[in-house]
Amino acid sequence: MTQDEKRAGSLDGLRVMVIDDSKTIRRTAETLLKREGAEVVTAVDGFEALAKIADQKPQIIFVDIMMPRLDGYQTCALIKNNQVFRHTPVIMLSSKDGLFDKARGRIVGSERYVTKPFTREELLDAIRQHVNA
């Protein structure tokens, strides 16, 4: 069995939410994660995500920073201020790689910051680091 075969399906049953206003990013993340066995829920923005989180109970959340209506920082803060989801890891996604953005992400409670475009390994690494799958 090859390394890739061993890793395939390594996320079986893991519920992941991807929040991004870019259809391309949502579809890319969803395809990569489903291939690994994860259940993926997507949302276009923070409002849609907050409506779905209570029903879906994701075990890890990837959220874009730059979104209309409710940005990633606001969305993360709202998730972290909720008693039920306070311990759910939130990974920020951004095309900007600035120190200020990373610091601001930490302030609102995100566990990690991944720069777009991300690789399969970056997504999987973030999940492995923050979820006991």
Instruction: Output the CA angle 12-111-55, nearest 5 degrees.
Output: 50
Chain centre to alpha carbon of residue 81: 17
Domain boundaries, the chain: 3-128
Instruction: Give the per-residue pLDDT at 35.
Output: 96
Looking at every residue in the chain, the average pLDDT score rounds to 91
Q: Is the distance from CB of 78 to CB of 46 less than 8 angstroms?
A: yes
pLDDT tens, position by position, 57-83: 999 999 999 999 899 999 999 999 999
> Is 3-128 a CATH 3.90.78.10 domain?
no
Mean pLDDT of 7-33: 91
Per-residue exposure over 14-32, b if at least 16 CB sit within 10 Å of its own CB, e if not: bbbbbbbbbeebbebbbeb
- Whether 7 has a pLDDT exceeding 70, the answer reads no
Q: Is the distance from CB of 8 to CB of 36 less than 8 angstroms?
A: yes
Instruction: Confirm whether pTM is higher than 0.85.
Output: yes
